Amino acid sequence: MNVLVIGSGGREHALAWKLKQSSLVDRVFVAPGNAGTAEDAENVPIPETDFAQLIKFVKENGVDLTVVGPEALLAAGIVDAFRKEKLRIFGPNREAAQLESSKVFCKQLLRSGNVPTAEFQVFSDPESARRYLVDREDVPIVVKADGLAAGKGVIVCKNREEALEAVERIAVRKVFGAAGNRLVIEEMLHGEEASVLAITDGKTIVTLQPAQDHKPAYDGDTGPNTGGMGAYSPAPVVTDEMLHWIEANVLVPTVHAMKKNGCPFQGVLYAGLMITPLGPRVLEYNVRFGDPECQPLMMRLKSDLAAILDAAVDGRLDRIESLEWDPRPAVCVVVASEGYPGEYKKGFPIHGLEEAAKIPDVKVFHAGTTIRDGQVVTSGGRVLGVTALGDNIARAKYQAYAAVKCISWPGKWCRKDIADKAINRLTQSGANRNS
């Protein structure tokens, strides 16, 4: 079959690279893609937001399956648009995508499915939110804008004063626009964060290995928030036993609740979790693969991704064999442009990609790259996702950074501590003693 991947980041490169390895797949197209997907697949110069052109391309080129990367397209109804044309597409429809695009929808769904999450209240006007904050104890609390706000709509507040300021910003000054028409105010949770993703057809779920990402820009989880500076899988904070618990008590009840509420969920169900002393709690759901979590997951997945996604689209995931994973951990280090996540320059030629590719068990996934005059140049803030497998996580980290070292362009930088949290945890628990 022919497959179309929509998007242009590291996640989409990893998906295209993995799909291309399937014996079921003939051609893999990526719209619009980047310099890396041009090499591993075929780029199609259609903007990801142009649904009509994408649909036309799919019909004219015998694409049997379309896979959507970015959440904004799902929230904008790309799946509905394709289904209307009887085209096979992997991802939730617009209604189901509210699990990510509306924090209020998500929290109410979690409550209705009895899924463990922080205690919360929903407000649709700033005055009642203020009154609530003033009336309750002055403790740390989290204020969330309801809608998509490019990862900035959640404000973790140390005290009442900060919470009142957050309400002001979101609901009065409307710094995130209509995303702030409603608010969620919720209890602050403590612990380590982890991501557990599952693929579901709306009835059956296939849980993937746990992963962990690094959102803050600088080492030691400091600095401004980014799209993600690195990721690794597995996440040792999620034990096998806990993964089963999460499947049974988080993922399964969520899929059931979606179905019961009349909006069955097909696609990637990505649980952002806080592993608290009382057990895992859902912080949020995303409705697509994470970027960069997707990169280490695809490095480790041995099963045929095309077969899994194809089955999910047809509602026959129950007939898929259990997934096979490379037992070795994978680490992805995001290499960024100078200035990211603020302003940055583009168009620098990238050197050393071939040397990096020669390092064993390394794959350099491209994100913000393009081809200019036959040369790979930077074209985004997050430029590459250098991903490596290793016999243990420290080894995977070492390999990834060895590959990063080969690559250069003016202003190139990355975090130096990707996966250290996992390495420290394993060192402390002694599990890494012999490796």
Work out how close the CB of 425 gets to Mg ion at its nearest, in angstroms, rounded to a whole number.
Answer: 21
The nearer residue to Mg ion, 272 or 279, going by C-beta atoms, is 272
Residue closest to 33 by CA, chosen among 18, 20, 14, 19: 14
Q: Distance between CA 205 and CA 267 in Å, rounded?
A: 10
Work out how close the CB of 141 gets to Mg ion at its nearest, in angstroms, rounded to a whole number.
Answer: 17
Residue listed under structure tokens 């209705």: 112
The nearer residue to Mg ion, 191 or 272, going by C-beta atoms, is 272
What element of type H or E holds 363?
Answer: strand 362-366
The nearer residue to Mg ion, 153 or 236, going by C-beta atoms, is 153
Q: Distance between CA 264 and CA 277 in Å, rounded?
A: 32
Work out how close the CB of 247 gets to ligand ADP at its nearest, in angstroms, rounded to a whole number.
Answer: 20
Q: Which of Mg ion, ligand ADP, none does 154 bind, CB closer than 5 to 8 A by kind?
A: ligand ADP
User: Is residue 223 part of the contact set for Mg ion (CB under 5 A)?
Assistant: no
Q: Looking only at Cα atoms, what is the longest distance across the chain?
A: 63
The nearer residue to ligand ADP, 100 or 310, going by C-beta atoms, is 100
Q: Distance between CA 372 and CA 329 in Å, rounded?
A: 35
Residue closest to 36 by CA, chosen among 324, 251, 356: 356
Work out how close the CB of 154 gets to ligand ADP at its nearest, in angstroms, rounded to a whole number.
Answer: 4
Size of the site for Mg ion (CB under 5 A): 1
Q: Which residues bind ligand ADP (CB under 6 A)?
A: 118, 142, 151, 153-154, 156, 186-189, 193, 272, 283-284
The nearer residue to Mg ion, 264 or 290, going by C-beta atoms, is 290
Work out how close the CB of 152 gets to ligand ADP at its nearest, in angstroms, rounded to a whole number.
Answer: 7
Residue listed under structure tokens 């689209």: 313
Both tokens of 391, joined, read 């016999």
The nearer residue to Mg ion, 115 or 306, going by C-beta atoms, is 115
Q: How far is Cα of residue 257 from the mean position of the Cα atoms in its chain? A: 22
The nearer residue to ligand ADP, 187 or 338, going by C-beta atoms, is 187
Q: Distance between CA 89 and CA 48 in Å, rounded?
A: 14
Work out how close the CB of 27 gets to Mg ion at its nearest, in angstroms, rounded to a whole number.
Answer: 34
Which of 191, 272, 279, 411 is in the footprint of Mg ion by CB under 5 A?
272
Q: Where are the beta strands (DSSP E) in 8-140?
A: 28-32, 42-43, 63-68, 89-90, 120-123
Residue listed under structure tokens 């309801």: 146
Beta bridge partners of 183: 123, 145
Q: Which of Mg ion, ligand ADP, none does 404 bind, CB closer than 5 to 8 A by kind?
A: none
Judged by CB under 5 A, which stretch of 187-195, 270-278, 320-328, 369-377 contacts Mg ion? 270-278
Q: Distance between CA 150 and CA 224 in Å, rounded?
A: 13
The nearer residue to ligand ADP, 271 or 404, going by C-beta atoms, is 271
Work out how close the CB of 154 gets to Mg ion at its nearest, in angstroms, rounded to a whole number.
Answer: 7
Both tokens of 220, joined, read 């030691």
Q: Distance between CA 93 and CA 357 in Å, rounded?
A: 37
The nearer residue to ligand ADP, 32 or 272, going by C-beta atoms, is 272
3-state secondary structure of 293: coil
3-state secondary structure of 43: strand
Work out how close the CB of 299 gets to Mg ion at its nearest, in angstroms, rounded to a whole number.
Answer: 22
What element of type H or E holds 3?
Answer: strand 2-7
Q: Which of Mg ion, ligand ADP, none does 188 bind, CB closer than 5 to 8 A by kind?
A: ligand ADP
Work out how close the CB of 88 gets to Mg ion at its nearest, in angstroms, rounded to a whole number.
Answer: 29
Gyration radius of the chain's alpha carbons: 21
| Structure-derived torsion over alpha carbons of residues 144, 124, 281, 309, reported in degrees to the nearest 10 | -90
The nearer residue to ligand ADP, 157 or 306, going by C-beta atoms, is 157
Can you say whether residue 420 is alpha, beta or left, with left for phi > 0 and alpha for psi between -120 and 50 degrees? alpha
Contact, 319 vs 206, CB < 8 A? no
Q: Which of Mg ion, ligand ADP, none does 216 bind, CB closer than 5 to 8 A by kind?
A: none
Both tokens of 128, joined, read 């009642």
Work out how close the CB of 284 gets to Mg ion at its nearest, in angstroms, rounded to a whole number.
Answer: 5
What is the number of the residue whose Cβ is closest to ligand ADP? 284
The residues of the shown chain that bind Mg ion, judged by CB under 5 A, are: 272
